[in-house]
Amino acid sequence: MQKPNMAVTGDETAATGDMPTYQIRAPTTALPQGVVMAASPGSLHSPQQLAEEATRKRELRLMKNREAAKECRRRKKEYVKCLESRVAVLEVQNKKLIEELETLKDICSPKTD
DNA sequence: GGCTTAAGACGTCAGTGCAA
DNA sequence: TTGCACTGACGTCTTAAGCC
């Protein structure tokens, strides 16, 4: 049993405004190996042939979606890794700036004794 | 060794955006 | 309008780690 899905928001860009790497859409025209193109609709006759065609279309769609999901997950992992390394860089940068600020405070503040 | 549990990977469904 | 790619959400399975 599946629950109704939430709307897709694509809010990953909220922080930076950049297109997340895992959302960049590359054209994927190549079919997976072993996929046979459909017969032309005009060549279908019996209800059984129609049913077979529907089944074949569904299997093709599932196979494509399966591959798309794998690729989507791979891109998302890459994107998260990229964000994590950026966080690490920014934390170092922030620490240095805080240290610099403290140094300047020491230099500029009047002596109290 | 058998158990519980958390984490990760996977397949599927459903909703969205876009090009033709 | 339609077909398709993309992706969030969900359920299931597998595996590793911790506990008894």
For the segment A3-30, what is each residue's pLDDT rounded down to a tens digit? Answer: 333 333 333 333 333 445 455 554 444 4
Secondary structure class of A104 (helix, strand, coil)? helix
Give this prediction's pTM: 0.70
- Residue A40 contacts strand B, CB under 7 A: no
Q: Taking the CB of residue A20, how many other CB atoms lie within 10 A of it? A: 19
- For residue range A35-50, what is the model confidence (pLDDT) as tens digits? 444 444 455 578 888 8
Assess whether A13 (CB) lies less than 7 A from strand B. Answer: no
d(CA A82, CA A102): 31
Dihedrals phi, psi of A60, to nearest 5 degrees = -65, -45
- Going by pLDDT thresholds of 50, 70 and 90, the confidence category of residue A99 is very high
CA A90, CA A96: separation in Å to the nearest integer? Answer: 10
Neighbour count for residue A57 (Cβ, 10 Å) = 11
Does the nearest atom of strand B lie within 7 Å of A57's Cβ?
no
Quickly give A107 CA vs C1 C1' distance in Å. 70
Which residues have Cβ atoms closer than 7 angstroms to strand C?
A 1-3, 5-6, 8-10, 12, 20, 22-26, 28-29, 64-65, 68-69, 71-72, 75-76
